[in-house]
Amino acid sequence: MDIRTMLDWNEIRSLRRYLHAHPELSGKEKETKKYLMAFLADRTDLELVDKGDWFYAHYEPAGQHGEGPVALRADMDALPVPEAIALPYGSTTAGIAHKCGHDGHSSALAAAALLLRKDARIHRPVYLIFQSAEETGKGGKSCADFLKEAGVEEVYAFHNLSGYPENAVMVRDRLTQCASKGLTVHFIGRKSHAGTPEKGRNPAQALARLALYAADLAEQAGTSTDKTLLLTIIGLNVGGEDFGISPGEGTFSVTLRADEESDLLRLENQLRDRARSLAVRDGLKVSFAERDPFPATVNTPRCAERVRKAACSLGLTLAPMPEPWRPSEDFGWYLKACPGAMFYVGNGMDWPAPHQPDYDFNDNILETAASLFLRLCEEDC
């Protein structure tokens, strides 16, 4: 099926740009969800099911050939990053923009929804999942639980990826994106006058020692194994510029990242143990807070091979991806629930990377992503 002639792609590009102009943060995609559901309701007869923060569209073909359901997933949330480039469809919400391409992911999946009934080779039920809160890692788990309820046998998603040829397809067997977690350590001591610091308990030394320990751990991890083991300090806060005050509390925040979740847990426990010993040393209280947990995204090899086969059948270029992509993806939850694969479509060699201020989704890859989605639903793929 040549989808280039079976859909008004200007309409899909307009959808993408509307979503770009009206971004919403993770867990707050109320209007995005409403607009996408209305878009599909006006143009398809698919069953649309509102699941609260997210929704799915369900296609049940007339003639089924025994294969179980397949699911396709896109995310909807934007980032707390201001629009830094002049676009005619630029963000209308201050400080928020689609700087990861989820506007394009949702638009490509919507395009696939419009084409499902036109594809005579699809003989299995299809669930199209429009997920919230990918950026914080909070949206994927409930959708993954739904896969089990619906008896889904395979699930697929894509991400746009810069530094690869435009419209090239990349897919890895097994590990494809790292596990990660945010950890904040909160030390509480006692504030005092800067002239009598002995009457207080200032956490500055404990915070400094913990930061140096984390840096040492990161250096050791980087030289002791060929696996990804990263500790990235993203926040270190204590006191202010009141020179008469010795502060009584402070925080240290770090992003932990690893190929394997067991390594992630080990790094976290090492930091927690060190923080507790420093708290005892300096007479401080210590507490911990976790943020944005992401499991590793581990593709099923036979599903990754289906992506390669689909890409080749469409005449697309397969590009090698020798290393996992370090940024995390909560699609990992889906792959714990059932077999599947995350694949990537190239933005272009010099295209700005996701999360950069000058990034915008490349509309030229919409057809490629939608074509692959459809092909993966066909029985002979």
Q: Give, as one character, the DSSP assignment of residue 248.
A: -
* pLDDT of res. 33: 98
Tokens at residue 374, please? 């459809």
| Beta pairing partners, 291 | 182
The pTM (predicted TM-score) of the whole model is 0.92
> 156 and 340 in contact (C-beta within 8 Å)?
yes
> Rounded CA gap, 271 and 258, in Å?
15
> 129 and 76 in contact (C-beta within 8 Å)?
no
The 10 Å Cβ neighbour count of residue 269 is 10
* pLDDT of res. 209: 98
Assess whether pLDDT exceeds 80 at residue 2: no
Per-residue confidence at 380, pLDDT binned at 50, 70, 90?
confident
> Rounded mean pLDDT of 327-341?
97
* pLDDT of res. 3: 66
* pLDDT of res. 223: 63
Tell me the residue type at 210: L
182: Cα separation from own chain's centroid: 14
Q: Give, as one character, the DSSP assignment of residue 203.
A: T
> 110 and 15 in contact (C-beta within 8 Å)?
yes
Least confident of 147-151, 221-225, 318-322: 221-225
3-state secondary structure of 229: strand
pLDDT, tens digit, 9 for 90 and up, residues 172-227: 999 999 999 999 999 999 999 999 999 999 999 999 999 999 999 888 876 656 78
What Å distances lie between residue 45 and 22, 142, 328, CA to CA? Answer: 26, 25, 35
Q: Considering only CA atoms, which of 311, 329, 300, 301 is closest in space to residue 376?
A: 311
> Rounded mean pLDDT of 348-368?
97
Assess whether pLDDT exceeds 70 at residue 279: yes
| Beta pairing partners, 54 | none
* pLDDT of res. 1: 62
* Average pLDDT of the chain to the nearest whole number: 95
Assess whether pLDDT exceeds 80 at residue 158: yes
> Rounded CA gap, 121 and 375, in Å?
9
